Chains A and B, each alone.
Chain A
Amino acid sequence: MMYGWIGQTLRIDLKSGKIKKNTLNPELARDFIGGRGLASKLLYDEIDPTIDPLSPKNKLIFVTGPLTGTYAPSSGRYMVVTKAPLTGTIGSSNSGGYFGPELKYAGYDLIIFEGKSKKPVYLWIDDAEVELRSAEHLWGKNTYETEDLIKGETDEDARVACIGQAGEKLIKFACVMNDKHRGAGRSGVGAVMGSKNLKAIAVKGTGSVKVADKDCFRKATLDCYEKIKANPVTGKGLPRWGTPMLVNVINAHGIFPTKNFLFGVFEGVDKISGETLADKILIRNRGCFGCPIGCGRVTEVTDPKFKGKGEGPEYESIWSLGADCGVDDLGAISKANYICNEMGMDTISVGGTIACTMELSEKGYLPTEDIGLGRKLCFGDAEAIVELTKKAGNRDGFGNILAEGSFRLAEKYGYPELSMGVKKQEFPAYDPRGVQGMALEYATSNRGACHVRGYMISPEIVGLPLPVDRFETEGKADLLKTFQDLTAVVDSSGICLFTTFAIGIAEIRALLKSATGIDYTAESLMIAGDRIWNLERFFNLKAGFTSKDDTLPQRLLKEPMPEGPSKGHVAMLGEMLPEYYKVRGWDENGIPSEAKLKELGLEK
């Protein structure tokens, strides 16, 4: 009998159609917790890291955490773990909504997909009954249509995670969408699903999640709820404005990347801020399952040019499709965002890739006729972001090049340095020249440029849990390691990273200990985080990555920020990276030492 975890896993061989139920290995669960950690361990053990991510040899894991489906704060999460096609690194993308908890109520902690189906299929899980069904009639449908059709033929209360046209067409930044509006967004996990001819997973569960010590778990949860309520970000900012509250904050620090990271301040910021969103297109606030924060936004654009309805845009999407492309039309940004959700694409990479295209075009490096819009592409072209988003999702004309992401696109035209990203994944919405910890985070994140592996914005900009000087490099390596390890624990436990504005390892330990009955300590959990981080690193090293890949585009390293509150600064990665390797217990080439691996119990 396991507590927190269900104790059962599903293994689906898509080639033969065989479905197997297995017992979850309790030792692995203890050491890798669940979610991102546990699935990374399974992937590491089961696949050769050098394989082509879109080949049948890759595996695709849908995984929950021991806290998923309980009332631990914001515990409606699940993750998709696989070798990522955009980066070639290990990939794990996280999503909320209702799908993850439903999978646990049906009786499973995780699903491993292997091989490739000959024909399009979807998996229908009705508690103990699990079957692969034909998805030929669903192929070509967008995510909304797919969800509605599947609910129609299974159960109206089923929860669905699926891909849209983007995943089917192996767009390198295709995501997995669930509950229509939530997405496991980054690194192209949706393309892996498409490569396996797997259109969707639908699940309906009637079982329970049990915890070991109910009273302690209740106390630990209420303690978290109180802290979340009292915290200015989780208690006020996020519930009131959603993630777009950051638009003004980040712009005011001069780190709001504008026009493909040429600038750090966007003059049209007022038109795309969280306040403007609330005023112009907000219908109501929305929460994922089990979340006391509720940062989701249900929105509607009535402008006939960009008419649409859905959820978002989130802060990152407002930025990538907006400021990064020099666009200040909230209607166009929202429309492009809705299209991304419908077709199943990561808004960050879509926006970043269009921004890169705009710079190439403005500079004359990209022939206008290649783009096929009948006009030269310039920053600020609101219609273009909508048109190009559609083209990318359909691999239509120039979309075929966009679909490969900014790095491959810029490389094709001879200017790879104009792709703003790391390890071929586009940056999120913070210019690291004005926040040094983020520079180190981007360079070292195990899934390429990413803000949610160690969100240094929290201490460096928001001042939580403690404010630190954002231009300073000293001490950042140490702090980042703590953030990265903690985040690995959070992602593995099944709660949302946003809770960590208000709670830390002590509270998470209280939740995990009482839920699972395992005598976790704050220290043992941080070691688990370190273990997960090193395992991911090891996967990437085996996949062929070296310390040379732990870098940033020359623009951020060499060209000082031209204006605004971060004027004159560059990303001082060289000052921090050697220290970071040392703090991690890695050698000067970024390779974990034998002693470190032994300490973490990772030696073979």
Chain B
Amino acid sequence: MVKILSINPDKCTGCRVCELACSMKQTGEFNPLKSRIHAILLEKEAFYLPITCLQCDDPFCARICPTGAITRDEVTGVVKVEEKKCVGCKMCLLACPFGTISYSDGKFIKCDLCGGDPECARFCIPEALKFVEAEKAVYPKEKLISEKLMEIYKGVKL
């Protein structure tokens, strides 16, 4: 079963530990700018959203890549950049609708789910980020809704 990185903005506290965990794992240093995930903090609205590559099923970045350097692994679902084939044209940056692919130090920076055990989710104590089986990703939301409905239902019965 394919696992996905489930993102819950309601649980994000804006601590940016995901950025630290990512940059350490990917570059060996703590540097939020080098992280493949960024917690976007909309302070006025008090809305915090960790955002990274969503590993699209039919990725725009792969479609636009003239050298075929970007491919999707059918087994794991991870969208990967093959460094050897990449010519650095940066068309993928243009194509990604979410802006989650970037270019730094002559390299593309993009989430690869850490090869199947994403460090960001491992370090996210509030559980805004969880690495879960795709089919089960909706469970928490369904559960939350059931609980709300239960309360309303109880009220109706009275």
Seen from chain A, the residues whose Cβ lies within 8 Å of a Cβ on chain B are 69-71, 76, 98, 105, 180, 206-211, 214, 218, 221-222, 225, 228-229, 239, 283-294, 296, 298
Contact = CB atoms under 8 A, between A and B. Distances in A.
B28 A209 contact: no
Contact of A285 (B13, B20, B32, B122): B13
Given A218-B24, A287-B14, A291-B15, A71 B30 contact: yes
Given A239-B126, A284-B46, A296 B13 contact: yes
A210 B13 contact: no
Contacts of A70: 20, 30
8 shortest interchain CB distances as A-B pairs: A287-B13, A294-B13, A287-B15, A208-B29, A292-B125, A208-B31, A71-B20, A209-B30
A271 to B, nearest CB: 24
A214 B30 contact: no
27 contacts: A70-B20, A71-B20, A71-B30, A71-B123, A98-B16, A105-B31, A105-B33, A180-B43, A208-B31, A208-B34, A209-B31, A210-B29, A211-B30, A214-B24, A218-B24, A222-B123, A225-B123, A225-B125, A284-B10, A287-B15, A288-B15, A289-B16, A292-B17, A292-B125, A294-B15, A294-B126, A298-B46
Contacts of A222: 122-123
A105 B32 contact: yes
A287 B33 CA distance: 19
Contacts of B14: 286-287
A211 B27 CA distance: 12
B105 to A, nearest CB: 11
A514 to B, nearest CB: 12
Contacts of B27: 208
A291 B30 contact: no
Contacts of B78: none
Interface string B1-28: 0000000001001111100110110011
A211 B30 CA distance: 8
Interface of B: 10, 13-17, 20-21, 23-24, 27-34, 43, 46, 122-123, 125-126
Contacts of B31: 105, 206-209
Contacts of A180: 43
A290 B31 CA distance: 12
Contact of B33 (A206, A284, A290): A206
B51 to A, nearest CB: 16
Given A69-B30, A214-B24, A225-B125, A291 B17 contact: yes
A228 B125 contact: yes
A71 B125 contact: no
A71 B17 contact: yes
Identify the interface centre among A222, A228, A289, A298: most chain B CB within 10 Å of its CB. Answer: A289
Contacts of B24: 71, 214, 218
A4 to B, nearest CB: 10
Nearest to B30: A209
B10 to A, nearest CB: 8
Nearest to A74: B15
Contacts of B30: 69-71, 208-211
Nearest to A75: B20
A277 to B, nearest CB: 15
A290 B20 contact: yes
Nearest to A98: B16
A370 B117 CA distance: 67
A161 B15 CA distance: 18
Contacts of A218: 24
B15 A290 contact: yes
A208 B20 CA distance: 10
Contacts of A286: 13-14, 46
A214 B28 contact: yes
B13 A71 contact: no
Contacts of A214: 24, 28
Given A206-B33, A209-B30, A291 B123 contact: no
A291 B20 contact: no
A71 B25 CA distance: 12
Contacts of A294: 13, 15, 126
A76 B28 CA distance: 19
Contacts of B122: 222
Contacts of A298: 46
Given A208-B34, A214-B24, A292-B125, A283 B16 contact: no
Contacts of A71: 17, 20-21, 24, 30, 123
B46 A229 contact: no
B46 to A, nearest CB: 5
A464 B14 CA distance: 28
Given A225-B125, A291-B15, A293-B125, 8 more contacts: A69-B30, A206-B33, A209-B31, A284-B10, A285-B126, A289-B15, A296-B13, A298-B46
A156 to B, nearest CB: 11
Nearest to A284: B46
Contact of B29 (A76, A209, A221): A209
A516 B19 CA distance: 21
